[in-house]
Structure 1
Amino acid sequence: MRKHLFIGVDALFITNPTNIRYLTGFVGVEDRDAYCLVTQNQFYFFTSSLYLESAKKLRAKVLEISRENPIAKEIARLCEELKIKKLGFEEANLTVAEYNKLKGLHLVPTNNRIEQLRMIKRADEIAHIRLAANLTDQCFKFITRRIRPGVTESRLALEIEGFLRSRGADLAFSPIVAFNEHSFQPHYHERSYDPLRRGSLILLDFGAKINGYCADMTRVVFVGKPKDGWVRAYNTVLQAQNKALGLLRDGVRSGATLDAAAKEVIAEANLPPYPHSLGHNVGLDVHEGPRLSVKKDEKLLPGMVFSVEPAVYIEGTYGIRIEDLVRLTDKGIEILSTSPKEMIIL
């Protein structure tokens, strides 16, 4: 176990289901189907009788919990048995009710300790993300053939979901399909039944999830001749992304520097820079740390997989965002998203 996990504590009580999956590979149905206790020498995995059989293959000591033998009782027993004096817990995940049941123990709040491990992807994790990115690219090719006047946002979103699920994948998140003025909302999640008309733009933001690992990609396509302002904004956003990717290739590893450089390209074109970060790590969650943001400079390290997604949003009118997944290596970068970025006019 890495030493930073145990700074100020003797053990960690893990309740976040994504962190439990990362540590053990276990996938439950509900949020509290399992818990973990992590010491410097051992994983302890707690679950009910429903999952004991599947838990046998985990590299952990498996202990059964139930209504008669609840998790708080087992944790207290182990803390006494293992002489754990300070028990760290995930302050962003443990509920007040769970905390109250553990009050007899010396509890120490911790934040993002497992998430820090998750920032650097193992080879198997990168392989899963690469598969998810590849399927996302296939889905983009598929969905552009379904775009025609008369189709609705709702229909296209359903087609994206069906394509991914029919190939054994899950959704990294609910697909964003935004026509025209809807696209200025970065995370638009309504689904209009208004039919697509010629002279429109469509923002598509979606990702496959394979073996628990997410992809995330955004493209904008045009139906009929695009407006001059759209063309200018599109080219500016693409230029901003190319600027950030070029700096990454040149060895820049400061998230803040990359974000500032992309925003500068957009500002110099007299367009409003995007209000969000340039990107975020991707893994078991579609949004993971660190973020590429001027608000908090964080160093990017080999093994990270993150999005690069500059944008222009004109309130009430339109939005254009171009997003790729990027893997950082010791030698440079690998762009995992391969869907075309030249302007697509259907």
Structure 2
Amino acid sequence: IASLVVEGQIMRVFVHHALKAAQPDLAIIDGEAAISGLRMIKSAEEIAALREAIAISERALERTLAGVRAGQSEAEIEQALVQALFAEGAEDHAFRPIVAAGDNSARPHAKARADYRLRPGDALLIDFGARRHGFCADITRTVFLGHASDEAQAVYDTVLQANLKGHAVTRAGITAHEIDDAVTAVLEASPFADRIRTKTGHGLGREVHEAPYIMRGNHQRLPAGTVFTDEPGLYRIGGFGVRIEDDILITETGCVSLTSFPRELQVLEC
């Protein structure tokens, strides 16, 4: 073998070293760009698998939220969520869930705590997804316990409007830059612009993070069949965060949200 094409972002370093040690003249070529381009446009079967993973995730989230009460820890809720995912038919979780309440919800990639107990007024951010037939769901919803303050309601509405802007502008041929620019502009025009911490989203399929990356500066045009996450958020460090994430399928005439779980502000009894 003179050359070998590999997925550069996935190949482990020790495998690379072993191949070169066994065959020093072997040309190892990073085929990431070609492979990600092929993966980006989903077939009907792949879209069906994504729909199934998302439906499982939404049923699991509904079950989990029904049991949330003040006094629980984030870790307890995470455990209940994972159990619900498997009970609903997941092969695995697509990634370790993010279950974050109170000030932890202001950390975009928080880890669940065992020593923090949920309190009335807390934001509870849950970012998670099932894996089904090898394909990943990725959904985020933020709810509040007992009541939502005026600030919480205003922040939530801003994030919701940004999320809906992503739905509204998406169509075949749009660039990743244009989607992120439209979504982020809603956040930037609000009184909470200093709370922006992340880009709008990323591609979704066999990997939970894959091309295209929905960010300013990425001028890649997105064809019909692309699936990506629309996940604007606002995060006040030391306070709380809100993120709303949907999985979006680009079509020839616009887009379809594969996610159907309610986006409106939810306040849970506690």
The normalised TM-score by structure 2 is 0.91
Is 1:254 matched up with 2:175? Answer: yes
**Which position in structure 2 is the counterpart of 1:141?**
62
Structure 1 runs, 4 residues or longer, greater than 3 Å off: 85-92, 102-106
CA contact (8 A) 2:129 2:139 kept: yes
Report the Cα offset of residue 343 of structure 1: 0.8
Is 1:343 matched up with 2:260? Answer: no
Q: Helix, strand or coil: the match of 1:219?
A: strand
**Which position in structure 2 is the counterpart of 1:98?**
18
- Pick from 22, 25, 30 the counterpart of residue 110 of structure 1: 30
1:47-86 alignment runs, 5 A limit: 79=1, 85-86=2-3
Report the Cα offset of residue 108 of structure 1: 4.0
Report the Cα offset of residue 269 of structure 1: 0.9
Report the Cα offset of residue 273 of structure 1: 5.3
Task: Mark the runs of 5 or more structure 2 residues left unpaired by the alignment.
Answer: none
Report the Cα offset of residue 102 of structure 1: 4.2
Q: Which has the larger radius of gyration?
A: 1
Q: Matched residues in 2 for 1:99 and 1:268: separation?
A: 52
Q: Matched residues in 1 for 2:89 and 2:147: separation?
A: 37
The one-character-per-residue Cα deviations of 1:92-129 (angstroms, maximum 9, x if unpaired) are 41534223234343404224132221111111111110
Gap change, CA 1:345 and 1:91, over 3 Å in 2: closer
Gap change, CA 1:190 and 1:141, over 3 Å in 2: closer
**Which position in structure 2 is the counterpart of 1:75?**
none
- The one-letter amino acid of 2:27's match is L
- The one-letter amino acid of 1:203's match is L
Q: Matched residues in 2 for 1:128 and 1:262: separation?
A: 27
Gap change, CA 1:90 and 1:267, over 3 Å in 2: closer
- Pick from 80, 83, 96 the counterpart of residue 162 of structure 1: 83
Report the Cα offset of residue 142 of structure 1: 1.0
- The one-letter amino acid of 1:193's match is D
Is 1:119 matched up with 2:40? Answer: yes
Q: Helix, strand or coil: the match of 1:194?
A: coil
**Which position in structure 2 is the counterpart of 1:196?**
118
Is 1:215 matched up with 2:132? Answer: no
Report the Cα offset of residue 275 of structure 1: 2.8
Q: Matched residues in 2 for 1:322 and 1:261: separation?
A: 16
The normalised TM-score by structure 1 is 0.72
- The one-letter amino acid of 2:41's match is I
CA contact (8 A) 1:151 1:195 kept: yes
Is 1:268 matched up with 2:185? Answer: no
CA contact (8 A) 2:78 2:112 kept: no
CA contact (8 A) 1:180 1:318 kept: yes
- The one-letter amino acid of 1:234's match is Y
Report the Cα offset of residue 252 of structure 1: 6.5
CA contact (8 A) 1:89 1:107 kept: no
Is 1:326 matched up with 2:248? Answer: yes
- Pick from 182, 194, 212 the counterpart of residue 290 of structure 1: 212
**Which position in structure 1 is the counterpart of 2:99?**
177
**Which position in structure 1 is the counterpart of 2:5?**
88
Q: Helix, strand or coil: the match of 1:88?
A: strand
CA contact (8 A) 2:173 2:221 kept: no
| 294-303 or 272-281: bigger deviation | 272-281
- Two-structure CA RMSD over aligned residues (Å): 1.7
**Which position in structure 2 is the counterpart of 1:240?**
162
Gap change, CA 1:252 and 1:325, over 3 Å in 2: same
CA contact (8 A) 1:87 1:105 kept: no
The one-character-per-residue Cα deviations of 1:259-308 (angstroms, maximum 9, x if unpaired) are 11111111111212533221111111111111110032221111111100
CA contact (8 A) 2:235 2:242 kept: yes
Gap change, CA 1:91 and 1:222, over 3 Å in 2: closer
Task: Mark the runs of 5 or more structure 1 residues left unpaired by the alignment.
Answer: 1-78, 80-84
**Which position in structure 1 is the counterpart of 2:235?**
313
Q: Helix, strand or coil: the match of 1:218?
A: strand
Q: Matched residues in 1 for 2:248 and 2:8: separation?
A: 31
**Which position in structure 1 is the counterpart of 2:127?**
205
The one-character-per-residue Cα deviations of 1:200-242 (angstroms, maximum 9, x if unpaired) are 1100111111111110110011112212111111000001111
Q: Matched residues in 1 for 2:5 and 2:222: separation?
A: 27
Highest RCO, 1 vs 2 (Cα 8 Å, sep ≥ 6): 2
